Amino acid sequence: MPHYDVNSSAVAHARTLIEAGEVDTTTEWSDAAPSTDQENALVESDGYDAFGDWHLGIDPDGSEQTKGRYGFPYGDFSTVNRAALIHAKQRASQNDHDEIAAAADDLLQRLDDAAS
């Protein structure tokens, strides 16, 4: 797995969505995760920066203008998915991406606080 830095733009985007109530607390990530066609449609319409805003990790050595530059997705291009944050936190922890795990945990706490 490549080295990922925290994608601060994505974290800010997720916080804004959580504050606006644009969250999904019930759908399993395996059901909510965007398909390749949906990913490609977003990139085609809005570009790679918009795609990156849905991923907590960015590979600083990854090729720009590629989807592979981004990791740790947290939503379906419209809402923050609670299960995706849990998955991102677990995967980041397992692969020694402590800063990304901490960012996912912070977002998860914000989502849970907002939902209660």
Task: State the alpha helices, DSSP H only, in 53-115.
Answer: 82-94, 98-115
Q: Which residue matches tokens 């990156």?
A: 52
Question: Whole-model pTM?
Answer: 0.95
Q: What is the pLDDT along the chain (116 residues), one digit of tens a residue?
A: 689 999 999 999 999 999 999 999 999 999 999 999 999 999 999 999 999 999 999 999 999 999 999 999 999 999 999 999 999 999 999 999 999 999 999 999 999 999 88
Q: Are 56 and 93 in contact (CB under 8 A)?
A: no
7: left (phi over 0), alpha (psi -120 to 50) or beta: beta
Cα–Cα distance between 88 and 56 in angstroms, integer?
8
Q: Which residue matches tokens 């490609």?
A: 40
